[in-house]
Amino acid sequence: MLRSLTSSIRPPYHLHTVYERLLGTEVEVQVVARTRQQAEAAESAALDELERLSAVFNRFDAGSELSRWLTRPGEQVPLSHELRTVLALADRWREVTGGAFHPGADALGRLWQEAAARGHKPDAAELSVVLAQLQTNPWTLHADGTATLHAAYPLGLNALAKGWIVDRMAELAWNSPEVQAVLINAGGDLRTVGGRGLKVTLADPFTARDDAAPLTHVHVQNGALASSGSAHRGVQVGGQWHSHLLDPRDGQPVQAVPGVTVTAPDCATADALATALSVLGAVEGLALVNGTPGCAALIVTRDGQTHPSALWPPDGPARRISNPCPTSFFYIELQENPP
């Protein structure tokens, strides 16, 4: 009887682990459960799912399902439910964003990487060829579970697949016995389920200083957050720095929006919106996010203005950024870790 009473009043166990080089980034896993064994079992379930889905989506692994499918253009190939699901999501986002979200943006990225090596911008004729290719459907999904690849250019699903994998990891951990809260954070793309949630600090996108005042804070509970920015990723072409984010509609690097943060019910949606809003800009981007149920965003433009969506839920007002620097970056950091 005493042992039973002691067990009932024992505080829950909080597991907190950070793994390097998963999903191409740092992955943080937090689980609150009744016992250590239950928390560790939930974490194992999440990591097993990550390993399983990496074998589907890792384009840097020649043996992954995605890589193998990309070597078979023109063939009607049976695909797993997981790959078909993400391809269908990519189709949807490409349609609703008018092409601002496009898995073929990787083809443009290759052109700009080659341009950086040559020291001048991509050739206009080469750019026109790729842009014309992006106007056609990259694949066809058939009702029998197969798909036919049409694209003859590089394709990437990272802007969607990473968030989708984070969602699957969080949901599996959450459904494990006696789990009270879960947080999965993959390089700033995060999903939290249960518990009190957490406060995320949004850093000023125009400075890399650790002691700079934050832009604002946002509380995330039973939902997801993702960010996108023109940060330290990009190419140097002819002495000028260009963002790694490219507009699939005209092939040019994104300039107007150095930082976007999105909250959404799930991480796949947050991921897709963060990429699309960076390309669309403030006016079109706010119209899109305001029309997407359960989603909110804060868009920072090059002039230092902050543009919150109708449902943006910051803990405090976002401040206008003075003296914005054109070669800055955007990131988030977790201020309060416990779910």
State the Cα angle at 102 between 83 and 127, rounded to 5°: 130
Residue 89 tokens read as 């999501």
- Give backbone dihedrals phi and psi of 63, rounded to 5 degrees, phi first: -90, -5
Nearest alpha-carbon partner for 40 in 203, 196, 163, 173:
173
More confidently predicted of 337 and 238: 238
User: What tens digit of pLDDT does each residue of 15-55 get?
Assistant: 999 998 888 889 999 999 999 999 999 999 999 999 999 99
Domain ranges of the chain: 1-59+158-188, 71-149, 196-339
The residue type found at 54 is S
Neighbours of 338 (CB within 10 A): 14
Between 103 and 212, where is the model more confident? Answer: 103
**pLDDT digits over 48-107, tens only?**
999 999 999 998 899 999 999 999 999 999 999 999 999 999 999 999 999 999 999 988
CATH classification for the domain delimited by 1-59+158-188, as one of 3.10.450.50, 1.10.10.10, 3.10.520.10, 3.40.50.1970: 3.10.520.10
CATH-assigned architecture of domain 196-339: Roll (3.10)
Measured CA to CA, the distance from residue 61 to residue 102 in angstroms comes to 22
Residue pLDDT, tens place only, 161-187? 999 999 999 999 999 999 999 999 998
Instruction: Give residue 238's pLDDT band: very low, low, confident or very high (50, 70, 90).
Output: low
CB 300 within 8 A of CB 260: yes
Q: What does the pLDDT read at residue 4?
A: 42
What pLDDT is attached to residue 172? Answer: 97
The dihedral sign for the CA sequence 184, 188, 194, 199: positive
Topology alike, domains 1-59+158-188 and 71-149: no
Fold of the domain spanning 71-149:
T-fold (1.10.3980)
Q: How many CA atoms lie within 13 A of 317 on its CB side?
A: 4
Query: DSSP assignment of 81-135, as one string?
Result: HHHHHHHHHHHHHHHHTTTSS-TTHHHHHHHHHHHHHHTSPPPHHHHHHHHHHHT
Distance CA 149, CA 264 (A): 30
The b/e string for 184-223 (b: 16+ C-beta within 10 A; e otherwise) is: bbbbbbbbbbbbebbebbbbbbbbeeeeeebbbebbbeeb
Alpha-carbon separation of residue 3 from 6, 8, 37, 142 (angstroms)? 5, 9, 18, 58
- CA torsion through residues 94, 96, 97, 98, sign: positive
